[in-house]
A = this chain, B = another copy of it.
Amino acid sequence: MDIRRADMIAETLEQHVFAGKYRDGERLDELKLADQFCVSRTPVREALQVLVANGIAEQFPRRGVFVRLPGPVELMEMFEMMAELEASCGRLAASRMTETGLRQLAEANIRCQEAIDQNDHAKYYAENEKFHQIIYRGSANGYLEQQTLRLQNKLKAYRRMQLRFRGRMAQSMAEHREIVAALEAEDAEKVASVLRNHVAVQGEKFHQLMANFNS
């Protein structure tokens, strides 16, 4: 699909940054990257512009482009916004979710439960992600869905940690069931509040991890 190498480079770099391959503030050397990707500086520079536009890197004129990883404060803010977006999706989905959507949610939940029974963290993580994405879709607002997916993707790397907490998967599962029940009852405010807390707890768990890490 993508003939443009610049696009492929942008995508690859983005993944690398999210995967933690670069330290915060690290300079993205045009020549090195050009060498790495076996291209000239031109497509690399176009890719860097995209990273900067997406807030993944920062540019200082005539100095270069530098990786810009979110600090603890910004991360908490992102988690908080994620909770708000999910709550909004849930609120709208309460009255808009189709039968098909509800069925998909039930199916996703079954697979989540399977993952718990098998103690398969990776599977739970994947199925949990799908569960939430079905709700975004259920908002019947393509723009909101897209923006929410973007932030979900940005937080992916950090969300992964928090499942390690003892009993978190089981609790998360119970919350899923509560969410589905509220959606079936079309109780918009209930859906919103449960979802908000369900997601916000991730931020708090993450905060805990950070605190433990620093002590």
* Assembly stoichiometry (copies): 2
Say if the beta carbon of A77 comes within 8 Å of chain B. yes
CB contacts (< 8 Å) of A73 on chain B: these are: 142
Q: A7-B61, A49-B50, A50-B53 are in contact. List 9 more A-B contacts (CB 8 A).
A: A3-B61, A74-B142, A77-B143, A78-B143, A80-B141, A81-B141, A81-B143, A81-B144, A84-B91
Instruction: Contact check, A88 vs B77: say whether CB atoms are below 8 A apart.
Output: no
CB contacts (< 8 Å) of A94 on chain B: these are: none
Say if the beta carbon of A6 comes within 8 Å of chain B. yes
A177 to B210, CA, bound (A): 41
A2 to B59, CA, bound (A): 10
CB contacts (< 8 Å) of A80 on chain B: these are: 92, 141, 143-144
A214 to B68, CA, bound (A): 46
A37 to B87, CA, bound (A): 45
CB contacts (< 8 Å) of A3 on chain B: these are: 61-62
A214 to B182, CA, bound (A): 39
User: A4-B61, A61-B3, A62-B3 given as contacts; is B144 within 8 A of A84 (CB)?
Assistant: yes
A180 to B88, CA, bound (A): 22
Say if the beta carbon of A147 comes within 8 Å of chain B. yes
A6 to B4, CA, bound (A): 20
Say if the beta carbon of A54 comes within 8 Å of chain B. yes
Instruction: Encode contact with B along A1-13: 1 for CB under 8 Å, 0 otherwise.
Output: 1111011000000
The distance from the CB of A197 to the nearest CB of chain B, in whole angstroms, is 13
A1 to B87, CA, bound (A): 40
Instruction: Encode contact with B along A30-62: 1 for CB under 8 Å, 0 otherwise.
Output: 000000000000100110011011100001011
Residue on B nearest A70 in the bound complex, by CB: B143
The distance from the CB of A34 to the nearest CB of chain B, in whole angstroms, is 15
